[in-house]
Amino acid sequence: MNLNELNQQLTTNAQNKTEEYCRLFHGRGNAYEGYNFLTVDSVDKVLFTVLFELGNEEDALVSMLRDFYTAEGKWEALVVQQRYLPSAPSTIISGELLEKCFAVENGLKYTINFLSAQNIGFFPDMKIGRAFVRNNAKGKNVLNLFSYTCSFSVAAIEGGATSVVNVDMNKNVLTTGRENHRLNGLDAKKVQFMPYNILKSWSRIRKAGPYDLIIIDPPSFQKGSFAATSDYAKIVRRLHEFAASECTVLAALNAPELDTVFIKELFHENAPEFSYIKRLENLENFPTNNEERSLKNLIFKKGIIS
């Protein structure tokens, strides 16, 4: 693929642009030779590009994106993030950002910030996972582990959950989570926000249980707090303490080096009362040359008689 071909693909994918968050180009799945360092998203009124590596043609690429942005006239700002640099700085290349920016997905809004951190506050590849939670939350008591900005909680409450407990050790992202519930006019009385280290807070988590639906969506590695290779099992091993008799678990992982077998074996060895149901499909606009290296959303169910 060259820059002209990239431009053509962006033009094609942008034809049906709406306010919904849409990935226009996904190079991270290694489906496009030479562009595994690049993603381009349409985020309502913002064209957002992330560069994961420094490339020889970065200046030419940014110039092409600026021309594409201008020619299409569908966005109010072009933002480029250089993820490969310390603190992953983002730069407004063209236009102006609104004071408040949002990601829109299935009619729900989520607060995002293009300029303050490495992650903008929303992970678009989890759309099908959020839809699953929304469609299976009615009347359920939900536990959202590693909640980040609480998008799963928003989906669950919108889907009719009785209550949701969000747990994340970062107080700032939980503050954004509160705002996401207010933004969508959802009943905050049904929601708890626990700013705790999950691996050290089991007694607090148990108090609000038992839970009918549990979401486990950890980082693959977070220095000093979590490593999927060693710590994911610690969570699965504890499920029996706070899972309801017919609990459903969405076990997620986005570590390319760990496959679905890794998660299945964790449940088989540490929570055999849970049966594997299925793996949720990933979005078509996140193509990959190896599904096992992409996002994994596995569903497990307790209380199934085989």
pLDDT in tens, 50-94: 999 987 789 999 999 999 999 999 999 999 999 999 999 999 999
248 plus 142 within the same structural domain: yes
The model's pLDDT over 192-231, given as tens digits with 9 standing for 90+, comes to: 999 999 999 999 999 999 999 999 999 887 777 788 999 9
298 assigned to some structural domain = yes
Q: What is the pLDDT of residue 39?
A: 97
Of 88, 112, 136, which residue sits at a domain end?
112
Of 82, 112, 142, which residue sits at a domain end?
112
220 plus 252 within the same structural domain: yes
Q: What is the pLDDT of residue 223?
A: 75
130 plus 242 within the same structural domain: yes
194 plus 288 within the same structural domain: yes
Binned at pLDDT 50, 70 and 90, residue 305 comes out as low
Which residues form the domain of 203?
Answer: 124-302
- Whether 117 has a pLDDT exceeding 90, the answer reads no
224 assigned to some structural domain = yes
287 assigned to some structural domain = yes
Q: What is the pLDDT of residue 125?
A: 96
Quick check: 305 and 273 in contact, CB under 8 A? no
The model's pLDDT over 144-190, given as tens digits with 9 standing for 90+, comes to: 999 999 999 999 999 999 999 999 999 999 999 999 999 999 988 99
CA 294/CA 285 separation, integer angstroms: 12
60 assigned to some structural domain = yes
119 assigned to some structural domain = no
User: Mean pLDDT score of the chain, rounded to an integer?
Assistant: 94
138 assigned to some structural domain = yes
Beta-carbon count within 10 A of 303 CB: 13
How many domains, in total, are found in the chain? 2
Quick check: 94 and 159 in contact, CB under 8 A? no
167 plus 257 within the same structural domain: yes
State the CATH number of the domain containing residue 80. 3.30.750.80
183 assigned to some structural domain = yes
